[in-house]
Structure 1
Amino acid sequence: MRVFKKLMMLGLFLLATQTIFSQSKITGTVIDGDFNGPLPGANVFVKGTKDGATTGFDGKFEFTTTMTSGEIVVSYLGFETVVIPFSGSSNLGNVSLKSNENQLESVVLIGKGVIDVAKDRKTPVAVSTIKATEIQEKLGNQEFPEMLVNTPSVYATKSGGGFGDSRINIRGFDQRNIAVMINGVPVNDMENGAVYWSNWAGLSDVTSAMQVQRGLGSSKLAISSVGGTINVITRTSEMKQGGVVSVGVANDDYLKTQASYSTGKMENGFSTSILLSRTQGNMFADGTKFEGHNYFIAFGYELNEKHNFQFTFTGAPQWHNQRSFANTIATYLQYGDPVNKIPNTRYNSDWGYLNGREYSWVRNFYHKPVASLNWDFTINDKMKLTTVLYGSWGRGGGTGNIGKSPFSYKTVDGLVPFDDFVAFNRGQYNPATGQSVTPITGAQVSQNANGDYQTSRSVGFTRRASINSHDWYGGVINLNTKLTDELTLDFGIDARTYKGYHFRNINDRLGADVYLDNRDINNPDRLLYETYEATPSWNPITNIKNQEKIEYNNNGYVRWYGAFTQLEYATDKLSAFIQGAVSQQGFSREDTFIYLESDPLYKTDFENILGGNIKGGANYNIDEKNNVFANAGYYSKQPFFNAVYRNNQSVVADDLTNEKILGIEAGYGFNSPYFNAKLNLYYTSWKDRYQRSSDSDSSNRGGYYDINKLNETHSGVELELNAKPINKLNINAMFSYGMWDYNGNAEFNRFDQNNTLLGNGDIYLDKVKVGDAAQMTASFGAGYEVLKGLKVDANYRFVDKLYASIDPARFLTEDNKGTLELPNYGLMDAGISYKMLVGKDKDKSVSLRFNMNNVLNEIYIAESRTNIFADDLVNSSNPAAGTYASNNRLYNGVADANQVFFGFGRTWNFTLRYQF
């Protein structure tokens, strides 16, 4: 027995010894192949196992594996993945990753035939890429579009400053004419092309990379990328096993918590990734409290080498109080320091207190979950079929006032006296208005038979909600065939269907007991008692059909059918493509309020409009450092829904025509280990454009202009520079100069808020500057690694040739003064990061990041809704009153009657992140 025990102990010892000695130690350093510097955050693992590590700030990695041989996979977002065989313990030395051949290929794990990612020195378009690490570090409490402000020809502002209310322009085109894609699927509203970033507030949390492709873009779909394409690539279920927990704090009580976990691809082929986050606080402007959530769920299944399935479901329910009204500069000065002319840039005229709590006329609430199912089918080594099916269910809207005009009533601090409005609605004396409701009965109904006070459209103060919800379903199928080693053919179809729900309901009667609505021709003089919360519903398919509706109730139907094809030729030296797409877009309108059910216009037939595009381009690599490219394209773009059915009625416009866009571009690139440069020249002609603009005349508040036959020309030059003179120093710079002008004159129709035609005529815009964006931008930034794991960075951005948005009322005569140019400004941002590797195997990390935006606390005008010049008369009917300049009514050279939004002052944010 003793002999047997000794033999057993010896056997266990030998087995343990064998296990110990069978472990392999893998070490090395991952470097940026373009700059020969360390690449922190790269993933290194043994293929087919969970053994691996993440590189530190010096690019070094070290881990052990029980495998005695196999393949090491080295990947980093935005770089080409490298696979290295190994046998036993190995020092892999310097592993160089290149980004110029397969840009972002390592993260596009699914839908490669749908996600059209531009590649440096191959795809002939102007492109800039923002990687996930940069988004995680620098976004903080900024808005998602602001990550692009240091790329050429991009102008992004926070607009009124509410949570998610930012907007972006590219090459002078607003975001309704910029194609926004998520994993290759278009997300612009199918009725008006709009993108509401508050609906995508959680997108930054799940983004693997973001590309802005200026101009034509590389998407094969028949999308209206007039100014460019923003292509957002999200994480997938096949991410490396592990998770992240983070917390962020910032100015104005901002707090964000986030957690995520990914299983990685398991032995049975399944994979899962989940992310949850919550954000709350106040924005920089007064009265802009908010709360937002974000969820992301991804499931993957790799059946075999031929079939890969990915399902994702993501949404970001949120509510936020807004600052929607652009006050005059004089008003900002009034509530700031008028003596020294220091404006209160936080001032917001849309809010006040109700029963001691913050309350706002304007509050946005929305939940827009998106579900998608991707199927990649590798038919053979030369043919692949990619399919994505998706659905989106938007529910929510925004609140505002209705009834008696409240805008002339303010407290001494400039706030809205909501408690006084409640008293007024209850028939009590109102200190704000100096009056009370006169109790009357009958058809005028300020009081019903029971003595309960009511409100209506003209009597009392009421907060209503404008609901803009939708059901959206679509699919994209692409067949990719490699005809030869050099030629690749793509062919696919793109189908979408959309129903938009548009109506108003009562959110808060502010003390009244009932609301009278007489706008429904089929159900006149209704007494309504229901109110509806201005908070997002977590139910993505909640029924809204049975809600009590006021003011208007119409549905918009849009159907889209498209087909596309692309032929691509690629060698080491030359790559070229030609692409064509055609689409039919159908529009139908249903209106249950202004038409009787028996009227044929109650619901119209579909108005089908044909459109499409053709484009092509080529890139030539002169040598390893120099390349040139050129592209050209032509779009025939269908108009938006409100151009088909104008004046908010169900009659198709007589002069309906497609918008016509011609784009031409050329570029040069230089790549070396220490310096990269990109130079682009572009020209875009945009004809037969339709636009609806708000009427700035206070006597027609809520009115608008319909503008037809707008023609514009956008041309310019763009330069991007990146340098790494030493391993620890990165330098980047950008410059862009645009010449964006209107060509010829346009026509207008002017309406009041009830859609009554007030007049028409010509708008004289020939050679007038296109407004609402800066035509010259420049930036310079640098990042330096002070110590191992510790780095600092700073960036300065300069904005010039910034013009106000077009105010149609200022261009009704030929002798107009053009577009108002706003003062230039410069902003400095700075940050500091520290990353520490932790855990027994140093395979986990703790990261800290501090950002400060607008470090110098610059006061600047970000946008203007009006075009009032310094030498304009203060009172046009009394020239003797003088001009704004002669009356000392200027702020930084700008007339103080202009309605503007100031940019944010100094803000900060801090994030603590643990990755395991």
Structure 2
Amino acid sequence: MKKSFFPFVFFLLCSLFAFGQQLTLSGIVQSSGSTPVSGIRVSASGVETTTDEDGFFRLNLPATDKFFHIEITDGQGQTIVKTVKPKGQHRISLGVIYLTGTDEEAGETENGQPTAKDLITGEDRIPIITLSSGEDESEQGPQNISGILSASRDPFIAAAAYNLSTGGFDIRGYRNETVVLMNGMPFNNIENGAIYWSSWGGLNDVTRNRQSAIDLGATSGTFGGIGGYTLFDTRASKQRPGKRISYMYSNRSYSGRLMGTWSTGMMDSGWAVTVSGSRRWAEEGYVPGTFYNLWSGFTSIDRKLDNGHLLNLTAFTVAGSRGSQGSSIQLANDLAGTNFYNPNWGWQNGKKRNARVTRTNQPVVILRHDWQLNEKSTLSTSIGHQFGRYGRTGLDWYNAPDPRPDYYRRLPLFLALENPDIAEQVTEIYSNNPDLLQIQWHDIYAGNVNNGRQYREVPGNWSQVILSDNRSDTRRLNGSGTFESIVNDHVIINAGLTFQREKTHYFKTVDDLLGGDYYINLNRFAPAPGLELYDINNPNPVVREGDTHGWDYDINGQKTAVWLQGRFSFKKTDFFVAGKMTATEFWRTGYMRSAIFPDNSFGSSQKQQYVNYGAKAGITYKIDGRNYFYSNASALNRAPDPRIAYASPRNRHQLVPGLTEEQVLAWEIGYQHRSPGLKARATYFHTQINDGLKLNRFFLPGDVSNFGTYILNGLDEKHAGIEVAFQAKITPTLSANGAASLSENIYTSRPQGFFVIDDDGRINNRGTIYIKNFFVPGTPQTAVSFGLDYRSPKFWSLSATVNYFNHNYIDFSPERRTADAVFGLEQDSPFYKQIVNQQSIPSAWTVDLFGYKSYRIKRNMFFSFTGGVTNLLNATVIQGGFEQLRFERADVEATGINVF
């Protein structure tokens, strides 16, 4: 148990004086596609301002006037005039004001006809966005690039989400550093802070209304993360009224998507309703052996009550299944003749069958209450619940050869170590029979039926190879409350409270016995006879389809956070200060008593408790209404992630050695220009993250083969670089956009390495790991995008984008960076460099095209067509990779080949 006790005090200096009788008039300007528009001039009675990044404006006017003419001008000829009569009020909100003519976000319109950006946002650009999942226990890895999936006001975010995602680009090199809330409900999981964007996949129409930022600035809905925030608002009254039906064809993960949405807007009765649904499907995706079948459904209902109350109920889910692509070593890809080789499938009865099938159905229900306390104060509260199932099947075996087709002992390069002639023969066999590189389902079934094996005297066939379903079913109960008060013309106070309680149930079931009658729940890696039982509370190891085997445990977490923020606005300067306190606890609950760890595996572990603090501040200098300099900084510490806190959570409570809190210091400085014809931003950022942990799991062969965990403790990271982006209108029909990130994301320490074997428990200290100045892997350090966009007055558009990626590196093996690995070698020798140097990924160029055409069928009814091609020139783009974690120097010296 560990706690932090250093003092935590907020100093917010608030001016509480009023400067005469004034009327505060505010509103939000959006395009006809419900996208907030910045840089729009708003004026009345000689007072002028411009809309901010969220399309928001506020005017302070003399309360003595009986009425005002409000002019909203977009700089391209469109002016909206609204007349307001105060009637004694001191605070009036105009709500959302839509630009229905020509504007930068909405595009060219005529007689109310929408254009590309009215109807299309980034997730509709067919070839751009791809969600990929990791190969961890839950397969719900951090789905990073989809952090901002729709059109953003920030040109850099837009480029990163659409164009640069094809190169695996992560903004500022971060993983899981963006805070995400939907209707106030926190969606970052407690285990590792990840966002599972697939939870609302296929619901593009109803998730367009959001606020997003990647900086350290202030916002009214959350304290934010060092990677910014995304706030979704799916209330029915905030959805654009109307009906929409769309169909999309693609050759990516899925081939078809059918989606329909109906929204009433706020009706005179005080009700608003939005319903949306979609199906995404493919009999086979671009990668052989993959399939896709996911259904999405969404309902949101608003009820406007008296006295400034609004209730909202939102419910949605994504349900179905999909076949996965498996990762493989490059040797197998070369043998198959393609980098899209997929070892997860094989032929069965003339059809392709995938062994890695993900099945999901995790509904979300959110209840939100908004209360206008008075003219200057609002209170929003929400409570949400997520539940359901998430599982991914995979092959398991006991006393049988490894059934995976890319198992290294089957590859010619391994066979060549013993007999080169056999290796040549095997290579020729694979070339003439490529189906041998796939799972041999027929042989597996035949082996299970005809092996003649029985466990003791249990009748029936003992399956030696089965399909297991690796489950990670999560239940979340989250709540939040946010308060905002406009103290006076210069001061706004925000405060918030969030509560998260989460339980993820990790277990494995028998999904398919593949022709046999039962399987045995015994540990084939047990270190000694008599210790094979996974669960000594259940001494009968016989399991059948649907039974649990292997592991069965919960990771429980609870987090409570409070934050307070003051925003101060003056003629030339805006600044803010904010503080946050978080209490976190987590623990493991085991449902199997391991024969190897009988006293440290069953029941609930000791709770790990942390109290953490954070503060941030920022200042903006307004040169004029369009040019700004800004600087923000944040300092915080945070509890370790429960996902990496346990050395082997599948079978015991043991914590990793040296578990401690992370320390984070981040700052940024930049310039921004906002006007109807040009948006530009340049930012320098610098983030230092100290005392981190990194875990790698891998298989260790030997006299007692087993799985193990390699732990890096005391890992420090630096993320620093420059971001530049712009969107410029060259002519009324032609615009240009560009974005570039030049960064240095490196490790700045030499951590300590530890190795823990799953079924042993002993901690093997590997000493210092020499990775200082190694690059953080998996994201290009250099990413550049430039594009041209032509929008015809005849309601069609065409855009072309060129993207460049460089300085990306694969993940490394810590064992190759120990003193033992290079003992006795000269540092300038080629063999030393071969062992130690980090491997880079080749640079890449891509070209993307996107086109749009719309037709007006009748009043308020339109038909639109979009199409696009990613990587038009078919360039080879490698997003990431990893080294073999095991390292046997003697084998490398003798053969030039590391173990697989």
Query: After TM superposition, is the score higher than 0.5?
Result: yes
In the alignment, residue 250 of structure 2 is paired with which amino acid?
A
The one-letter code of the counterpart of 2:662 is E
Say yes or no: does 1:95 pair with 2:78.
yes
Task: Report the CA distance between 1:691 and its aligned residue.
Answer: 1.4
Matches of residues 10-159 of structure 1 in structure 2 within 5 Å?
Answer: 41=32, 79=55, 94-96=77-79, 133-135=120-122, 137-139=124-126, 142-143=129-130, 151=156
Change (3 A) 1:441 1:837: closer
Partner of 1:316: 318
Query: Given that residues 163 and 803 in structure 2 are in contact (C-alpha distance below 8 angstroms), is that contact kept between their aligned partners in structure 1?
Result: no
CA distance in structure 2 between the aligned counterparts of 1:78 and 1:270, rounded to whole angstroms: 26
Indicate the larger mover: 179-188 or 854-863: 179-188
Of residues 475, 484, 501, the one that matches 2:479 is 475
Change over 3 Å in CA distance of 1:878–1:469 after alignment to 2 = closer
Pick closer, same or farther for the CA change 1:219–1:747 going to 2, 3 Å: farther
Partner of 2:526: none
Out of 764, 771, 793, the residue aligned to residue 777 of structure 2 is 771
Structure 1: how far apart are the matches of 2:52 and 2:576?
28
Task: Please tell me the residue identity of whatever aligns with 1:463.
Answer: L
Q: Give the superposition deviation at 1:866.
A: 1.6
Q: How many residues align?
A: 739
1:303 to partner: Cα distance: 1.0
1:579 aligns with 578
User: Displacement of 1:270 after TM fit?
Assistant: 0.5
Which residue identity lines up with residue 397 of structure 1 in the other structure? G
Where 2:446 maps in the other structure, the secondary structure is helix
1:697 & 1:379 partners in 2: Cα distance?
62
Is residue 191 of structure 1 aligned with residue 191 of structure 2? yes
Which whole-Å deviations, capped at 9, do the CAs of 1:752-777 have from their partners, x for residues lacking one?
46475573312111121211111110
Partner of 1:355: 349
Q: Which amino acid aligns with 1:864?
A: G
Shift of 1:312: 0.6
Task: Determine the structure 1 residue equivalent to 2:493.
Answer: 489
Q: Is the 8 A contact 1:678 1:720 kept in 2?
A: yes
Instruction: Provide closer, same or farther for how the CA distance between residues 214 and 811 of structure 1 changes in structure 2, counting only shifts above 3 A.
Output: farther
- The answer (yes or no) to whether the contact 2:853–2:865 under 8 Å persists in 1 is yes
Paired residue for 2:544, among 523, 529, 554?
529
Higher mean Cα deviation, 231-240 or 637-646?
231-240
Per-residue deviation at 1:633? 0.6
Contact 1:207 1:235 (8 Å CA) reproduced:
no
CA distance in 1 between partners of 2:163 and 2:685 (Å): 27
Partner of 2:682: 679
- 1:709-728 pair list within 5 angstroms: 709-728=714-733
Give identity over the alignment, percent: 21
Secondary structure, aligned partner of 1:620: strand
Find out whether 1:795 has 2:801 as its counterpart.
yes
**Cα root mean square deviation, aligned:** 3.9
Task: State the AA in 2 paired with 1:565.
Answer: L
Give the partner amino acid of 1:393: F
Cα distance in structure 2, aligned partners of 1:76 and 1:681? 21
Matched residue SS, 2:785: strand
Check whether the contact 2:854–2:864 (CA below 8 A) recurs between aligned residues: yes
Q: Say if 2:394 is the partner of 1:400.
A: yes
Three-state SS of the structure 1 residue aligned to 2:170 is strand
Compute the displacement of 1:358 (Å).
2.3
Question: Per the alignment, do residues 745 and 106 of structure 1 end up closer, same or farther by CA in structure 2, a change over 3 Å counting?
Answer: farther
Is the contact made by 1:478 and 1:491 (CA closer than 8 Å) also made in structure 2?
yes
Distance 1:723 1:97, change over 3 A: farther
Counterpart of 1:424 in structure 2 is 447
Is 1:662 aligned with 2:669?
Answer: no
Is 2:754 the counterpart of 1:749?
A: yes
1:345 equivalent in alignment to 2:344: no
**Higher mean C-alpha displacement, 217-226 vs 663-672:** 217-226
Q: Does residue 1:454 correspond to 2:462, yes or no? A: yes
Q: Residues 373 and 390 of structure 1 are in contact (CA less than 8 Å); yes or no, is this contact kept in structure 2? A: yes
Q: Which has the higher strand share?
A: 1
Partner of 1:908: none
1:593 and 1:657, CA in 2 relative to 1: closer, same or farther beyond 3 A? same
Q: Give, as a single letter, the amino acid of the residue that structure 1 aligns with 2:216.
A: L
Aligned to 2:3: none
Is 2:255 the counterpart of 1:257?
no
Match of 2:505 in 1: 501
Check whether the contact 1:771–1:819 (CA below 8 A) recurs between aligned residues. Answer: no
In structure 2, relative to structure 1, the CA distance for the partners of 1:284 and 1:718 (3 Å cut) is same
Question: 1:304 aligned to 2:314?
Answer: no
What secondary structure, in the 3-state scheme, does the structure 1 residue paired with 2:387 have?
strand
- AA aligned to 1:740 is N
Alpha-carbon shift at residue 598 of structure 1 (Å): 8.5
The equivalent of 1:856 in structure 2 is: 873
**Structure 2 counterpart of 1:374:** 368
CA contact (8 A) 1:800 1:825 kept: yes
Pair 1:572–1:157, CA change in 2 (3 A): closer
The CA distance in 2 between the partners of 1:724 and 1:356, in whole Å, is 56
Q: 1:829 aligns with which of 835, 844, 848?
A: 848
Q: Is the aligned partner of 1:622 residue 2:636?
A: no
Checking the alignment, whether the CA contact within 8 Å between 1:153 and 1:718 is kept in structure 2 is no
Amino acid aligned to 1:95: Q
Shift in alpha-carbon separation, 1:714–1:691, aligned structure 2, 3 A? same
One-letter amino acid of the structure 2 residue matched with residue 646 of structure 1: A
In structure 2, relative to structure 1, the CA distance for the partners of 1:168 and 1:506 (3 Å cut) is: farther
Distance 1:703 1:549 in 2: 22
| Distance verdict in 2 for CA 1:236–1:582, change over 3 Å | same
TM-score normalised according to structure 1 size: 0.74
Q: Deviations over 1:195-221 (max 9, x none)?
A: 334333224342214555324354578
- Structure 1 residues 486 and 867 mapped into 2: Cα distance closer, same or farther (>3 Å)? farther
Q: Is the 8 A contact 1:157 1:862 kept in 2?
A: no
Query: For residues 866 and 134 of structure 1, what CA distance do their matches in structure 2 show?
Result: 38
Q: Which residue of 2 aligns with 1:266?
A: 267
Secondary structure at the residue paired with 1:864?
coil
Deviation at residue 749 of structure 1 after TM alignment:
2.1
In 2, distance between residues paired with 1:371 and 1:241? 22
| CA displacement at 1:106 relative to structure 2 | 6.9
Partner of 1:340: none
Indicate if the aligned counterparts of 1:135 and 1:204 stay in contact, CA closer than 8 A.
no
> Given that residues 145 and 170 in structure 2 are in contact (C-alpha distance below 8 angstroms), is that contact kept between their aligned partners in structure 1?
no
In structure 2, distance between residues paired with 1:93 and 1:742? 48
Structure 1 residue 131, shift from structure 2 partner: 9.0
Against the structure 1 CA distance between its residues 696 and 625, is the aligned structure 2 distance closer, same or farther, given a 3 Å change threshold?
A: farther
Q: Would you say the 8 A contact 2:185–2:366 is kept in 1?
A: no
1: distance between equivalents of 2:611 and 2:465? Answer: 46
Structure 1 residue 781: Cα displacement: 0.8
Q: Distance in 2 between matches of 1:707 and 1:481?
A: 46
**Which residue number corresponds to residue 882 of structure 2?**
865
What residue number does 2:206 align with? 206
Query: 5+ residue gaps in structure 1?
Result: 1-32, 45-74, 99-104, 110-129, 337-343, 428-436, 443-447, 532-547, 885-896, 900-916
Partners of 1:79 and 1:85 in 2: how far apart? 21
Do the aligned partners of residues 375 and 476 (structure 1) sit closer, same or farther apart at CA in structure 2, a change above 3 Å counting? Answer: same
Q: How far is 1:617 from its partner?
A: 0.5
Cα pair distance change 1:135/1:695, threshold 3 Å: same
User: Matches of 1:219 and 1:82 in 2, distance apart?
Assistant: 16
1:737 Cα deviation from its structure 2 partner: 0.6
Supply the distance in 1 between the matched residues of 2:775 and 2:261 (Cα, whole angstroms).
47
User: Structure 2 vs 1, CA of residues 357 and 135 (structure 1 numbering), >3 Å: closer, same or farther?
Assistant: same
Structure 1 Cα separation of the partners of residues 34 and 178 of structure 2: 33
Equivalent pair of 1:153/1:736 in contact (CA under 8 Å): no
- Match of 2:790, as an amino acid? Y
After TM superposition, give the deviation of residue 710 of structure 1 in Å.
0.4
Contact 1:747–1:763 at 8 Å: present in 2 too?
Answer: yes
Cα deviations across residues 561-601 of structure 1 (Å, max 9, x unaligned)? 11111111123432211111101111121112136999796
